[in-house]
Amino acid sequence: MINKVISMVEEDKYCIDVLQQSLAAIGYLKSVDKLILESHLNCCFREGMNASREKQDKLISEILHIVNKV
């Protein structure tokens, strides 16, 4: 999908068409990001909450860092 955007730019395609393709790629990546985060919370994060306080603090910090980027 991103390769398509790059090739459209290289081929000097109409700007709006490039933007629409770019926005579609961004939407797809956001969907994938949500699935990855959900999987992480249900697996790695959940398991980590049974670990030491230091490990828990690290996991919480990681999640906050990611959420702040969204």
pLDDT digits (tens, 9 = 90+) for 12-69: 999 999 999 999 999 999 999 999 999 999 999 999 999 999 999 999 999 999 999 8
H/E stretch holding 43:
none
What's the number of domains the chain is made of? 1
Q: What is the CATH number of the domain that holds 60?
A: 1.20.58
Q: pTM value?
A: 0.76
Tell me: pLDDT of 1 over 90: no
Nearest-angstrom CA–CA distance, 2 and 19: 12
Task: Show the domain range for 21.
Answer: 2-69
Biggest CA pair distance of the chain: 55
Sign of CA dihedral 40, 46, 51, 54: positive
Looking at 1-70, list the stretches that DSSP marks H as alpha helix, in order from N- to C-terminal side: 2-10, 15-40, 46-48, 53-69
